[in-house]
Structure 1
């Protein structure tokens, strides 16, 4: 930061220091709701600019903004309930977007991995949390805060669930929600939310737990899901078809659908009582209703449009969610609360290595994806905060213990971006230890002395999937002489069905490429761009391939125009940019459209490549 920038920020900071007095002096100028939202947004925005400048996660800025304007700061927000109400909307819209991103077929394709892990992970983590807490009490750690009979159970709830809001936000920002780790993480989060709903349903009856309320909660979810699916299949498409040419109306219709299902779920008991004369306590929480609303219309052709428009509104409300959370942070009553918060954060992260990772690995997920998924889920859930708050109201835990849980959430929330970005590095650093403990990578099939390939595809994602489709259609003789190297073993069977040799391997290691047979390939294609690659880059891969196979023709993938020169210098023979290749195709379509020949052009493209929606690709 230059001296001029610092002086300007200092002057601006002095101006902001006058804000509380200005607000109080003009308190009658705006309704309290509008004023409080404005103050929160101004504080969050300004702090976010400063925090991002110093490479601090923006979540920290929002939390600090809440502390600054909240009761333990300047107390200029007069009614924190206003912000809590608005932030609840952010959580609802986030879960609605998550539902829109859910591809049920891909989730079900995860099969045993997701179903078994989803069913076992939550109760196993609760048992882990209870055991660790009892061990701490036995060791004399925690004092009165952990001495209550329900305290160990609530710590189990705290460490058992991860933050849907934080994790999905990061997966969306990095465009990795459609990866194996992204799908497994999303599936586990959904299972965790369902488990949490069951916990909330039986909390009032902890002294005499009953299975009926839990079953009725799940029955309510099933009833709402069936009702929403029926409406979405037979009625919603008609309405969306009427308004398809008006994007702003599509957005309004999508939001109304979300809150229609939310209201149906929340007031399901009222409906059954009025219509059928009975009340079985089937009501569904607003968050789960929003998730169901999104999932039931995810297959509509307008889902991408809805996601784009709702995301903008969602970000506004999510910002207020974190500001509201910052306002709820209490003044710590002594160091014991903060020390326990740090301890809870450590236990939560430890559970990801002790429970999450072995469970995912044992159910069939490869070691890397199991570790990456576990590390990225290393935070405390918003649902855990709700469970602990209800527990405090019921007298199960003390207010100090609830405060420690809030601080633990803040700690793990601040660590989440760092852990997300370092997940692959953590796996690499622990690979030696994991191997000694029996967690081995899938065996790498080395190429035989006489085995050679015409083509080697390094990494397998959308480009490679479409490339194999074209080869199968136009050059089927090439498939038996094609090698695919990728670490996602769950798609290996589908690739192998095409007659392609597919092998597990880490693209970061030149020695691995040599043993897998890349050194004997005539043409090597780096199919994955740098923003998806983890732990390596196209430039490094090109150097490694050129080292192990000096005579190969290497085709590399670039994102930025300037990268092409560096890739050629590293040894690439040809560099393609997806943006340029796409632009060429669109340019041809635009030319035909301007000359009035777009229908003929579409027919010729479909005759050559087939209709996009009927292509059967691996991905």
Structure 2
């Protein structure tokens, strides 16, 4: 088809719209339309994105003119994804996985690659043309050995399982897989004459970048965050600048080394730099706010990533391509239970979580697409064999949401088989799936919140360690922590901030800030958000006007208070006492019960 006469192409590039903007618009329109249809039909949403790419790409209408630019923009999604992973991964909890993570991470890729490669060599003995020689078996074994960072983290976040035992281990193993992928890429150009030097230089560069980023984050970045803390949008801007700054520095590390007069070929990928950048600020009080803002931007680019991937899906040359891709996909899933699961179990993980981790990692990696493409450029494999891996990735990508949803049921079905092969329950309770949820949450912290905290400290100090405060005024956070309460930096209007902070599991949530001090939201809207997130929580909300009480209650509040009304109810007993000439005795009783007003120790004066 001649691209210049495509109606969709004309639509995208019509008028004064640049070709790039037109192509982006077509991608998003096609993805949006197909998403509606696929969700309605209960087909995984990722299929809609891939389908949009197929429709617009060479296998369909050939409507997109500037494919290279789409790919460049889409790859930003992977960079942002790894930045968010760095922000959300709890390194202490990850390292606490100990032997299970380290041993499995070290041996899983080589073992899976060896078994997969051997299986395809055996199949190749039948004379199948697509499996002639060693290299096809090697690259298809690689496709079976690596899992998809993009898909796994996306679904862990959507299912709120990133901070579970299985979630942490899955992410940890993905990091080890990325290291193995770096080793493979370093060796790939010199398979005929392998060299250890590129691998050593890669690890050296990663270590140098991590060290420099950690020092700068602690010395300078923390102060920079404090300066812009009053403006959440500037916090995110600074975080993104840090993400791409570290990534670009890593990608150009070799240039800096050469300028220092050192003759070393060293570099770190942009994506690895983003992961390091995220990890260096993961313990920052601003991490929740950054995650909540960046996650939507990331999703936009990830959408384009899958649409772009759909465009790369070729028209199959023969039925053999589809047949072999189905075999690769099936073997990739099977090896998770043949190789991954026994290693996890032997290294100390309980069998339920072993099944859960294996199930979550059952897909072909997007990293493999890069590896096989480079393999074709080096003459190791043909374009047809690259197509096999692409189709295998698509098949496993469509299976991933189904496997995530059926993980527990799959475990129940596998129990008899696991018992038969000696993988038995150890009779211990699995590790707690997440940290203890807060009992009481204060959303926003101004004068009402300050007064509440002071009275909690005086009357119920045992409740303070179980109290969480979410607010953007970082200047008072240290003082709040000194009173034993938990506090996180975040915009209370962001559902992502509330979710990541654990509001969904709280017993009581109090909205302490009146509407006139809120920015971009109202207490009525906040109540709706919290009620959806925490259906069982008791919600106590503020309102400014009497006419708003019914609406806030209808939104889901269990109790609504109005500051002027509460003040009036507090003053009335003093008025009655004054009218009855008993004010001195009333004040004496009040001070005995609550102390004098001028001696209250509040965070906000």
TM-score range, shorter chain: 0.7 to 0.9
Distance 2:562 2:256 in 1: 53
Matched residue, 2:148: 163
Matched residue, 1:146: 131
Distance 2:208 2:560 in 1: 50
Does residue 580 of structure 1 match 2:538?
Answer: yes
Question: Residues 35 and 444 (structure 1 numbering): CA distance in 2 closer, same or farther, change over 3 Å?
Answer: closer
Q: 1:29 Cα shift?
A: 2.8
Choose from 8, 17, 24 the match for 1:37.
Answer: 24
| TM-superposition CA deviations, 1:526-569 (whole Å, max 9, x none) | xxx9x99xxxxxxxxxxxxxxxxxxxxxxxxxx9999xxxxxxx
Equivalent residue runs for 1:410-449 within 5 Å: 410-443=394-427
Equivalent residue runs for 1:291-306 within 5 Å: 291-306=275-290
Distance 1:83 1:243 in 2: 33
- Contact in 2 for aligned 1:270/1:279 (Cα 8 Å): no
Does residue 285 of structure 1 match 2:263?
Answer: no
Matched residue, 2:248: 263
Matched residue, 2:235: 250
| TM-superposition CA deviations, 1:202-244 (whole Å, max 9, x none) | 2111111111211111111111111111111111001000000
Matched residue, 2:201: 216
Does residue 322 of structure 1 match 2:280?
Answer: no
- Contact in 1 for aligned 2:541/2:561 (Cα 8 Å): no
Choose from 250, 258, 264 the match for 1:273.
Answer: 258
Distance 1:39 1:381 in 2: 27
| TM-superposition CA deviations, 1:155-210 (whole Å, max 9, x none) | 22111110011111111011111110100001001111111111111211111111
Distance 2:228 2:432 in 1: 41
Matched residue, 1:121: 108
Matched residue, 2:91: 104
Distance 2:404 2:564 in 1: 45
Q: 1:579 Cα shift?
A: 2.4
Q: 1:86 Cα shift?
A: 0.8
Q: 1:19 Cα shift?
A: 5.3
Matched residue, 1:225: 210
Structure 1 outlier segments of 4+, above 3 Å: 458-467, 559-562, 581-597
Distance 2:330 2:181 in 1: 21
Choose from 326, 342, 347 the match for 1:342.
Answer: 326
Deviates more, 1:403-412 or 1:278-287: 278-287
- Contact in 1 for aligned 2:9/2:65 (Cα 8 Å): no
Matched residue, 2:45: 58
- Contact in 1 for aligned 2:538/2:558 (Cα 8 Å): no
Question: Residues 422 and 592 (structure 1 numbering): CA distance in 2 closer, same or farther, change over 3 Å?
Answer: farther
Question: Residues 251 and 403 (structure 1 numbering): CA distance in 2 closer, same or farther, change over 3 Å?
Answer: same
Matched residue, 2:335: 351
| TM-superposition CA deviations, 1:47-93 (whole Å, max 9, x none) | 10111111111100000100101111111101211110011001100
Q: 1:148 Cα shift?
A: 2.9
Distance 2:176 2:43 in 1: 31
**In structure 2, the residue corresponding to 1:150 is in which secondary structure?**
helix
Equivalent residue runs for 1:465-484 within 5 Å: none
Distance 1:207 1:165 in 2: 32
Distance 1:582 1:375 in 2: 41
Distance 2:337 2:154 in 1: 22
Question: Residues 333 and 264 (structure 1 numbering): CA distance in 2 closer, same or farther, change over 3 Å?
Answer: same
Distance 1:474 1:83 in 2: 55
- Contact in 2 for aligned 1:148/1:396 (Cα 8 Å): no
Matched residue, 1:82: 69
Distance 2:561 2:273 in 1: 42
Question: Residues 81 and 595 (structure 1 numbering): CA distance in 2 closer, same or farther, change over 3 Å?
Answer: farther
Q: 1:444 Cα shift?
A: 6.2
Please report the RMSD computed on the Cα atoms of aligned residues, expressed in angstroms.
3.2
Choose from 8, 11, 26 the match for 1:23.
Answer: 11
Distance 1:285 1:249 in 2: 26
Distance 1:58 1:213 in 2: 39
Question: Residues 80 and 247 (structure 1 numbering): CA distance in 2 closer, same or farther, change over 3 Å?
Answer: same
- Contact in 2 for aligned 1:262/1:286 (Cα 8 Å): yes
* Structure 1, gaps ≥5 residues long: 1-17, 446-457, 468-472, 476-528, 533-558, 563-575, 598-602, 605-619
Corresponding residue pairs, total: 470
Matched residue, 2:602: none
Matched residue, 2:496: none
Distance 1:360 1:593 in 2: 60
TM-score by length of 1: 0.71
Question: Residues 579 and 328 (structure 1 numbering): CA distance in 2 closer, same or farther, change over 3 Å?
Answer: same
Matched residue, 2:219: 234
Q: 1:464 Cα shift?
A: 7.5
Question: Residues 583 and 118 (structure 1 numbering): CA distance in 2 closer, same or farther, change over 3 Å?
Answer: farther
Distance 1:65 1:359 in 2: 39
| TM-superposition CA deviations, 1:421-466 (whole Å, max 9, x none) | 1111111001011011100012269xxxxxxxxxxxx987545897
Question: Residues 435 and 590 (structure 1 numbering): CA distance in 2 closer, same or farther, change over 3 Å?
Answer: farther
Does residue 71 of structure 1 match 2:55?
Answer: no
**In structure 1, the residue corresponding to 2:134 is in which secondary structure?**
coil
**Which protein shows a greater Rg?**
2
Does residue 399 of structure 1 match 2:386?
Answer: no
Question: Residues 386 and 313 (structure 1 numbering): CA distance in 2 closer, same or farther, change over 3 Å?
Answer: same
Distance 1:217 1:586 in 2: 57
| TM-superposition CA deviations, 1:248-300 (whole Å, max 9, x none) | 111111110000011011000001111x2124221111111111111111111
TM-score by length of 2: 0.73
- Contact in 2 for aligned 1:99/1:291 (Cα 8 Å): yes
| TM-superposition CA deviations, 1:351-385 (whole Å, max 9, x none) | 10111100100100000000011011100111111
Q: 1:578 Cα shift?
A: 4.3
**In structure 2, the residue corresponding to 1:400 is in which secondary structure?**
helix
Question: Residues 586 and 335 (structure 1 numbering): CA distance in 2 closer, same or farther, change over 3 Å?
Answer: same
Does residue 178 of structure 1 match 2:166?
Answer: no
Question: Residues 462 and 291 (structure 1 numbering): CA distance in 2 closer, same or farther, change over 3 Å?
Answer: closer
**In structure 2, the residue corresponding to 1:278 is in which secondary structure?**
coil
Matched residue, 1:573: none
Question: Residues 234 and 329 (structure 1 numbering): CA distance in 2 closer, same or farther, change over 3 Å?
Answer: same
Equivalent residue runs for 1:483-522 within 5 Å: none
Distance 2:49 2:29 in 1: 10
